[in-house]
Amino acid sequence: MGFFEQHSFYFPHKPSADLDPARGYTGDWEAVSRRIRERAGWCCEGKLDGGGTCKVNLSNDKRLLHVHHKNSEKSDNREKNLVAFCVECHSKQAGHEHIHVSTEERLLLKNLRVL
């Protein structure tokens, strides 16, 4: 019996051995990310400061739609752990303050939310 099987009650998921050591994501991350963004209809699932849902449609600006790991574990690609966020909503998540959102990107997101 392996370590993770023996101690499974401590781990909600078994880490993937196929991690990109430079970034920490699984080798299939691009496909996983695309699947989650498609599941969201290329719309942000983040919450706005005012209490509503962002819902900005980024089907024409796909680079601005990210996929976030709720539990911060880059190897945990379970569906329930992944959510699609626009770059602005993603930058507001704890530990993601390093994500830079340019003035142009913020303006574009604001305009798209109005549509």
Q: What are the pLDDT tens digits along the chain (115 aa)?
A: 555 555 555 555 555 545 444 467 899 999 999 999 999 999 999 998 888 889 999 999 999 999 999 999 999 999 999 999 999 999 999 999 999 999 999 999 999 987 6
Residue 50 belongs to what domain range?
20-114
Structure-token match 């602005």, residue found: 88
Residue 8 resides in a domain: no
Residue 77 lies in a domain: yes
Encode 56-84: b = buried (16+ Cβ within 10 Å), e = exposed: bbbeebeebbbbbbeeeebbbbeeebbbb
Digit-coded pLDDT (tens) for 23-45: 678 999 999 999 999 999 999 99
Is residue 107 in a domain? yes
Domain total for the chain? 1
Question: Does the residue 60 lie in any domain?
Answer: yes
Q: What is the pTM of this model?
A: 0.78
The percentage of the chain sitting over the pLDDT mark of 90, rounded to a whole number, equals 70
